[in-house]
Structure 1
Amino acid sequence: MPNTATAIDSFIIDSVKERLKQGKPVVQELPNNGLLFIDKLLPFICVYRYKDYDPHFAKLLKTQATFIIVDDSIDIAPLIDTIQDAISTDFSSFLIMEFWPEPNSEKAEFSISCPKAKAPGTMNALKEGFESLNDLYPNIAAVIEESETRCPAHLEPIIYDDDCKKKGILIIGIAIKPLYRSLDNTSHYALFFREFYTVFSETVKRAAYEFIRIQNADLFENYLILGKTSIDEVTKKADKELALINEGMSFLLRATPVNSNEEWQRFKKNNFRKLPNFKYRLIALDPELEKRRLYNIPIDKVDDPAIAYILRGKRLEIEKQLTMLEERGTKNFRFVGNSLYGTTKKSVYRAARKILKKFPERETKKGAVRLNCHQFAKLAQKEMDYYNDKFPDLDLSIEIRNDVAGIMVSKTKLLINDEVSFDERRADALIQHEVGTHILTYCNGRRQPLCQMYEGFEGYDQLQEGLAVIAEYLVGGLTVNRMRLLATRVIAVKSMSDGADFIETFQLLRRRYNFSERIAYYISMRVYRGGGLTKDAVYLAGLMDVLEYIEKGGKLDYLYTGKFNVNHIELVEELLYRGVLVKAELPRFLERKDVQKRLKKLRKGIDITELIN
């Protein structure tokens, strides 16, 4: 740095040195609104030296686990020396990637400058990553240049080349066209920027990983480990506020009739000719005020692309569910719900019909024992006791009540209707569905630092239900009747979506698919509740997703980490690698030998009609 550069106070240097020595993260303010952030000791750092501070450009670097954002009048060489000394025991080489905006360039171009014949894997990772933005913005190019000048034109190098060679430091300079704003700097393209900073985050980690892999031996099994471990206070607060709104909404409870048993009696008495008149819990919140709270949450301030994506998706889901509660009892309830749960996919509808074609009749076995609600609860309590020991800080309990339909889970509570009975042969499967899957994933989610891990990501129902049905198969309790039920829910959703009313769908299930009057009623009730809810089709869709995931070699362990959907698995895997999330407690039924044999069958691939135990 030139002699005119401002030196950093020795107190700051000593403070950083001490924290690194203790293995603690560093969040150190620097003069003129600068910031040094070190989440964990890694052999690379990202640098942005600014003359005119660009908050959006700074946010790009904040996606990384280690960065310096600093006024360009500050000499940061002593900081770099301090950091390199701290990592020298474990790493022989150190990478500095200096980024700066190049708004005056006429081309949509990223210029990557490096010394001759140095780190080709790192250069190629940067080039390929930035050029992947062509999917979003046309004619983007990344150009690699061998150059001795690898810093902004108006600045001196952070460290001169002779010193770099002595210290084992490689400096790469990356000039970035700020495509996320207009040329006159009056407009900011927020939606494009979200994608831009996600690609930036991924690209830099991959480039750093290539450097570490070659220069420092293969010390990390995956580039994702280079991501942030810590969650800042802004992110924690946004996550918590989202969870509070979601928790207070109790969407499914408020969308489920409280008089389903009484309406069944009336429906039967009227010879199935008069539509049921379902009643619902009063809504003790104002959806408009909740939406205002929702959009006051500053998710735009969340620097971590993976977590921001999760929170933004959940916010959109909550908004739609609040709108559905406003429209409860009308057709608009269904139309908004379709954008959340979707309509029936052709592949899922074909699978449903295939199941019903192979198993056209209900299976009846002589001597089948029925368990009343109290007998079933006694069996379920044994499983609850096991997980109570695993999660002593959570209160897992069972409630028998008259205002729920059948059996359902609410957080750590298993809710059982007081009039329902169960086939004894299905009891274990139901317990593993509700307790060994839904309650367990909630409990695992509660161990995580993100509330969404237990409240559920956007669209989490599909994977949750698919995983729960797989549990039924693995414990040997997936019967013909159960598979027929899952398939018929899809048929009922398709019937409703095609315009049939409650009675028409009820009669379709009775006459064409041979369901009893009561079962046909309850299937129809679930589908038409609230004004029409397509959620029940996700059971079979989720089952198909999980079958495909397992056959492709996916790790079942990941799926119990919390509540999320198939499209979130890679994000959860990333957060696990980064150490943001902790490993899940697995269901104890996976220890059974017969379960392990069935799981091996799934790994080899199995037709959906072959899942019958």
Structure 2
Amino acid sequence: MTSILEEKYQNLFDIDANLNRLVKKIELLNYINPLNIESEKKQFYSSKYNYEPQFKYPKIRFNGYKLHRLFFSQRLERIKDESIRELYKDIIYEYSGLIECIETIGQGRKFYFNSLKSFGTPTERDIENAKFILRFDDSDFEEDLLPLYNVDDTIAYFEDYRKRYDFDFTIKKSTNISAAAMVQNNTKTLLLRRNYKFSKNQLAVLANHEIGVHMVTTFNGLSQPLKVFSNGFPNNVETQEGLAVYSEYMSGNLTITRLKELAYRVIAADSLAKGYSFSDTFDLLYNQYKLNRDKAFIVTLRVHRGGGFTKDHLYLTGLKKVYDYAKSGEDLNVLLTGKVTLEYKDVILKMQELGLAIPSIHYTDAYLSNDNQNKNFDFILNSLK
């Protein structure tokens, strides 16, 4: 079947294969996470939060100029269908932007401006939404939020959870990630922060988020005839993170604390636009918003890595978009077909009609039934603008 398809759409498959070869080299998350987080954190704490961390980053393993040239040498005019041609044009611009991001990691505002091009910055509405969420009280003691589980406990939990899905992936410990956990799409690997203590709630949150969505879309993307579903559509972060947090909500594991964490990320990302330094953003979260020290450090690190990484504001906007989309009765299956973007839904459906894409093989089990018992979340999510 695929060979007949490839003959019929030879030019499209050739371009897709070319881009696939090129894009393998530019996984942003492989480069953006500092190599010396722990040592810089110690120095920052011992300086009474006045020291500006000097993060070190992995060496770049590609020639950016050459990659740009190869991306823009693709003969897109050979793709006959206009909407698919436009998708691939957008993809090339997206990948080109990511190259510029990677090339300028650690170069301060230069990186920040490239990050803005790729990920945008919070709008006034986003900031209002974040501040609205931060009004809600999360001070009640909950045993499920106590950090009691080490990384080996977490691996055991995930090994059990993975049995729900019929795909295989690697779980590894890492000291060089800023999140508690993350999926490496290109290596089908789930990374867990080695020296981190996880709560019972966090285990469930991360299992649904990382395995139930990010791994699901990784393997669905790999099953598609075209590699673009695996490599990623333009601006897919917002949709993908929205889907992931929505799975936390649907599985009944979303908490006010978690929602506020996403709101703090918006506030922190906005501080970049105001020219805040690392210590300024930390001070904002720790002293003004009274976020605990380690959480304030992590949120600050996430947005200041590279020189100013604005991606984190998209989790909340993505959640709102996916929540509204699902609430209106739209099909989530199409958004799980790979690393895709809600805004390209019609193109995906068209590609499915043409046989150039298939429906999702794996489906997020949290989406099968709504296990959320907290009506506050519906009130909050409906109230977001």
Provide the TM-score with structure 1 as the length reference: 0.58
Q: Which has the higher contact order (CA 8 A, sep 6+)?
A: 2
Contact 2:136 2:256 survives alignment (8 Å):
no
More helix by share: 2
Q: 2:171 aligns with which of 383, 398, 402?
A: 398
**1:507 corresponds to which of 274, 283, 289:** 283
Residue identity opposite 2:106 in structure 1: G
The correspondence of residues 130-279 of structure 1 with structure 2, limited to 5 A, is 232-279=9-56
Per the alignment, residue 329 of structure 1 pairs with 106
Using the TM superposition, give the Cα deviation of residue 336 of structure 1 relative to its aligned residue in structure 2, in angstroms. 1.7
Q: How many residues align?
A: 375
1:332 partner SS: helix
Partner of 2:156: 378
Aligned partner letter, 1:337: S
SS in 1 for 2:183: strand
Q: 1-side partners of 2:66 and 2:74: how far apart?
A: 13
Q: CA 1:508–1:424 in 2, change beyond 3 Å: closer, same or farther?
A: same
1:292 is aligned to 2:62: no
**Following TM superposition, by how much is the alpha carbon of 1:588 offset from its aligned partner in structure 2, in angstroms?**
2.7
**Structure 2: which amino acid aligns with 1:341?**
F
Q: Cα deviations across residues 309-336 of structure 1 (Å, max 9, x unaligned)? A: 2211111011111112222222111112
Amino acid at match of 1:522: I
Q: Cα RMSD (Å) of the superposition?
A: 2.4
Using the alignment, how far apart are the partners of 2:319 and 2:212 within structure 1?
Answer: 16
Whole-Å separation in 2 of the counterparts to 1:363 and 1:293: 55
Shift of 1:403: 2.1
Match of 2:127 in 1: 349
* AA aligned opposite 2:48: N
1:133-186: CA deviation from partner (whole Å, max 9, x where unpaired): xxxxxxxxxxxxxxxxxxxxxxxxxxxxxxxxxxxxxxxxxxxxxxxxxxxxxx
Secondary structure of the structure 2 residue equivalent to 1:583: coil
Gaps of 5+ in 1: 1-23, 28-38, 40-228
Check the 8 A contact 2:133/2:259 in 1, yes or no: yes
Q: CA deviation at 1:609?
A: 5.3
What is the rounded CA distance, in whole Å, between the counterparts of 2:63 and 2:379 in structure 1? 47
Q: Distance in 1 between matches of 2:256 and 2:218?
A: 29
1:553 Cα deviation after fit: 2.0
Equivalence for 1:481? 257
Q: Distance in 1 between matches of 2:224 and 2:115?
A: 29
Corresponding position of 2:380: 608
Report the alpha carbon displacement of residue 610 of structure 1 after superposing the two structures with TM.
7.7
Structure 2 unaligned spans of 5+: none
* 2:237 aligned counterpart, secondary structure: helix
Contact 2:15/2:76 (CA < 8 Å) preserved in 1?
A: yes
Aligned to 2:58: 281
Question: How far apart are residue 481 of structure 1 and its match?
Answer: 1.4
Rg: which structure is higher?
Answer: 1
Report the alpha carbon displacement of residue 426 of structure 1 after superposing the two structures with TM. Answer: 2.5
Tell me: CA distance 1:607–1:569, structure 2 relative to 1, closer, same or farther (3 Å).
Answer: farther
For the pair 1:520 / 2:296, whether they are aligned, the reply is yes
Mean alpha-carbon deviation: is it higher for 479-488 or for 338-347?
338-347
Aligned equivalent of 1:445: 221
Distance 1:363 1:506, change over 3 A: farther
From the superposition, tell whether residues 279 and 519 of structure 1 become closer, same or farther in structure 2 (CA, over 3 Å): same
| Structure 1 counterpart of 2:192 | 416
Percent identity over paired residues: 26
Partner of 1:407: 181
Deviation at 1:363, TM superposition (A): 4.9
Report the residue type matching 1:383 in the other structure.
Y
Helix, strand or coil at the partner of 1:248: coil
Match of 1:194 in 2: none
Aligned pair in 2 of structure 1 residues 570, 610: CA closer, same or farther (>3 Å)?
Answer: closer
Q: TM-score, normalised to structure 2's length?
A: 0.91
Alignment of 1:109-120 (within 5 A): none
In the other structure, the counterpart of 2:268 is 492
Query: Helix, strand or coil: the match of 1:398?
Result: strand
Shift of 1:258: 1.4
